[in-house]
Chains A and B, each alone.
Chain A
Amino acid sequence: MSRLYLARNPRVAARSLDGEMMIMSGRDSTLFTLNKTATIIWQAADGATPLDQIVEQQICKEFEVEATAALEDAESLARELASHEILQISEDPIPQRNRLAGDTR
């Protein structure tokens, strides 16, 4: 199975408040609130770290889940976030110039 790389879409606005990550699409103003797993994926989406590594190092530790099933779920979640243009996904690392994250003040 090929590896998946993720990068935050720089065209969204994002803020974390009281442990909740909220993201607004710059395209159509749709507001999203991410759950804990999606927040971990969003915060780790630096374009260089593959998803399987994010799952193994962060999600499995946080939720004490089995790696294969967790990766499947994470991949599905990442693709959903990508469908809303919150994340960019690629089978290759995503270069720095595309990795200007949405403001996560």
Chain B
Amino acid sequence: MSQLTTEIEQLSLVIEIGGMPVRVNTTDPAFLDLLQKRYAGFVGSSDNAEIEFDVDLTPPSPSNPNADVSVTRDQGRWLLRRGDFRAEWSPASRRGWIRQSVNPYAIDAVLRIVHTLVLAKQGGFLLHSASAIRNGRAFLFAGVSGAGKTTISRLAPADATLLTDEISYVRKRDSGYIACGTPFTGELAKLGENVSAPVATLYLLAQGRENRIDRIPSAEAARALLTNMLFFAEDEELVQAAFHSAFEFVSRVPVSRLTFVPDIRVWELIR
């Protein structure tokens, strides 16, 4: 009797951001190759992934990747949805699935969302900010689009290690915080280094006629931090956790306004 089924090879890749290994399973070698290139420097070898996703690839459709993201919880499972993907993740089983076409943007969004959900429970967060390590300490540069995240990243001197030019990864560690490199890029389109360091200062960026640093009051700092945090979930428990994490952060980490002229001298202030 002839064989009626064909065994399909399961391929997988571990993407490790912020020290959290996420295994992605696929049956498509081209997609695996795409992921390996997209997350170069963040591909891990851990056998014990904290989260595992099976990717179900669908034909490309005229869906809108800029549509609003929806992240809701239903009976212990997180349901993630955007124009270009659907995904589900169960924290209890640590497993989930992603349904998307072959592109790096959808899985990138899923990873960002899942990391925000995990971090929120641990007192950490993702932040709209560039970040870099200098002299063993991490500095965050937060601001809305156009505030200067890409500019400050581009001006970074050779002795600074860029963690990201767009989305910083902040974890609570002992009595302080660490910033980790991410592959989440902005206009610079350059992956961050996969390293981490204790957070020394959060700077709120403003471009001006001189380079100066001004300490800002805690309330203003908390408000700015909350404004720049990435948060997707429509979930009261996690909203409350993120809210209190912001206050905890500003009680432990100095927050200042960094006004700067867009040239390399600004980095003389950042040490």
Residues of A within 8 A of B (CB): 11, 13, 15, 17-20, 22, 24-29, 31, 33, 103, 105
Measured CB to CB, the nearest residue on chain A to B217 is: A18
- Provide the bound-state CA to CA distance between A29 and B237, in Å: 11
**Residues of B within 8 A of A (CB-CB), count:** 17
On whether the beta carbons of B222 and A22 are closer than 8 Å, the reply is yes
Chain B residues whose C-beta falls within 8 Å of the C-beta of A31 in the assembled complex:
223, 226-227
Instruction: Give the residue of A11, A17, A105 whose beta carbon is less than 8 angstroms from that of B236.
Output: A11
Task: Name the one of B218, B239, B242 contacting A17, with C-beta atoms under 8 angstroms.
Answer: B218
Contact A26 B239 (CB under 8 A): yes
Task: Report Cα–Cα, A17/B218, bound state, in Å.
Answer: 7
Asked whether, in the complex, the Cβ of B222 is within 8 Å of the Cβ of A24, the reply is no
Q: Point out the residues of chain B lying under 8 angstroms from A105, CB to CB.
A: 244, 247
Q: What per-residue 1/0 map shows which CB atoms of B204-226 lie under 8 Å from chain A?
A: 00000000000001110011001
- Say whether B89 faces chain A, with CB atoms less than 8 Å apart: no
Given the interface contacts A24-B226, A27-B234, A28-B234, does A13 sit within 8 Å of B219 by beta carbon?
no
Closest chain-B Cβ to A28's Cβ sits at a distance in Å of 7
Contact of A22 among B223, B231, B234, B240 (CB under 8 A): B223
With both chains docked as a complex, state the minimum distance between the C-beta of B27 and any C-beta of chain A, in angstroms.
37
How far apart sit A19 and B220, CA to CA, in the bound complex (Å)?
11
Instruction: A24-B226, A26-B239, A105-B247 are known; give 20 further A-B pairs, CB within 8 A.
Output: A13-B239, A13-B243, A15-B244, A17-B219, A17-B250, A18-B217, A18-B218, A18-B219, A20-B219, A22-B219, A22-B222, A22-B223, A22-B226, A26-B236, A27-B239, A28-B234, A29-B239, A31-B226, A33-B223, A105-B244
Interface of B toward A, CB cutoff 8 Å: 217-219, 222-223, 226-227, 231, 234, 236, 239-240, 242-244, 247, 250
Chain A positions within 8 Å of B218 at CB level: 17-18
Q: Give B248 Cβ to nearest chain A Cβ, in Å.
A: 10
Assess whether A27 is in contact with B219, with CB atoms less than 8 Å apart. no
Chain A hits for B240, CB < 8 A: 13, 24, 26, 103
Chain A residue nearest in CB terms to B221: A17
B247 in contact with A17 (CB, 8 Å): yes
Contacts of A28 in B (CB 8 A): 234
Contact assessment for A13 and B223 in the assembled complex, using a CB-CB cutoff below 8 Å: no
Q: In the complex the two chains form, what is the Cα distance from A58 to B199 in whole Å?
A: 42
Q: Is the CB of B219 within 8 A of A24?
A: no
With most chain B CB atoms within 10 A of its CB, the pick from A11, A13, A29 is A29
Residues of B within 8 A of A25 (CB): 239
Query: Chain B residues with Cβ under 8 A from A11's Cβ?
Result: 236
Instruction: Decide: A13 near B244, CB < 8 A? Known: A22-B222, A31-B226.
Output: yes
* Distance A19 CA – B240 CA, assembled complex (angstroms): 20
